[in-house]
Amino acid sequence: MDKNTLIEELRGMLPQMERLDKHLTNIGSIEQRIANLQYEINQPVQLSIWEVFRPDSGITSQDQRKAVLRTFVGAIAGSLLGTLGSKLAELGGIGRLLGTPFILAGGLLFFASFISCPFYLMKKGKERQREAKEEYRQELVRRQADLQAATQAMWAEIGPHWGKITSIIPEDYATPICIQQVYSYLVNGRADNLKEALNLFEEEQHRARVEENQRYIYEKQQDEIAKLKAMQVELENRVINAEARADAAYYRSTYN
């Protein structure tokens, strides 16, 4: 196929590639959401006592209000039992015998109402996590159906043209970005045939990957340098503070 014919064929593919790119972007976002949902579903249901007061614990404000109410009611009930026991004990004799269990029960109930609060919140937090997982499972089913529908819609639109596309461009290169770049190389005179255009595309893709890796390495090095500088500043400040304390101690021992 001569260059001009190839350019015309590729120009005819560009609108289809734009539509394919939109389909692939949509499918990619759905697949990413599915991956996130599967990750959340596979996370274990766990919540420690120390995590119940964190904002991301999943515990609702209603759960917190119930925990406060339970604590308040328990504390009041414990106080009333303790007061009743004290009054009975003041009567002496059998009243003291009857009052002692009330005093003990009131004290236990008073302290248990506070101690049980974080355990109650921990239980509620785990319940909320299970409820969230169930919602994730339901959404996962919907997203998987969306993915299937999006894939079918893509092939319904692109499928009839796919045979012609792959008869001109090898299937491994039949992507929107590759076809757009190959068309650009041919139109702008950077390549004279399909083989040259594909080789040029591979070279630029390889160069882009190398530059990306170099940029990543450079950014990591800059982060390490910044950390080392921060450590150096901290050590210098410690030395200065230690010297200042030593001077102060010397001054006190010399002039006092």
> Into how many domains does the chain fold?
2
Q: Is 57 exposed, middle or buried (0-12, 13-18, 19+ CB in 10 A)?
A: buried
Whole-model pTM: value is 0.65
Instruction: Please check whether residues 92 and 152 belong to one and the same domain.
Output: yes
Instruction: Please check whether residues 107 and 144 belong to one and the same domain.
Output: yes
pLDDT in tens, 197-206: 999 999 999 9
pLDDT in tens, 192-243: 999 999 999 999 999 999 999 999 998 888 888 888 888 888 888 888 888 7
Instruction: Please check whether residues 54 and 112 belong to one and the same domain.
Output: yes
Residue 28 lies in a domain: yes
Residue 153 lies in a domain: yes
CA-closest candidate to residue 159, choices 23, 6, 26: 23
Q: Measured between alpha carbons, how far is 184 from 169 in angstroms, rounded to an integer?
A: 15
* Residue keyed to tokens 């109402």: 113
Residue 116 lies in a domain: yes
Instruction: Please check whether residues 137 and 200 belong to one and the same domain.
Output: no
CA-closest candidate to residue 65, choices 135, 13, 124: 124
Q: Measured between alpha carbons, how far is 174 from 67 in angstroms, rounded to an integer?
A: 60
Give the structural domain span for 17: 3-168
Render each residue's pLDDT in the chain as its tens digit; 256 residues: 788 899 999 999 999 999 999 999 999 999 999 999 999 999 888 877 767 777 767 777 888 888 888 888 888 888 888 888 787 777 777 777 777 787 788 788 888 888 888 888 888 888 888 888 999 999 999 999 999 999 999 999 998 988 989 999 999 999 999 999 999 999 999 999 999 999 999 999 999 999 999 999 988 888 888 888 888 888 888 888 887 887 777 677 776 6
Contacts of 184 (CB under 8 A, 6+ apart): 190
Instruction: Please check whether residues 204 and 164 belong to one and the same domain.
Output: no
Instruction: Please check whether residues 221 and 161 belong to one and the same domain.
Output: no
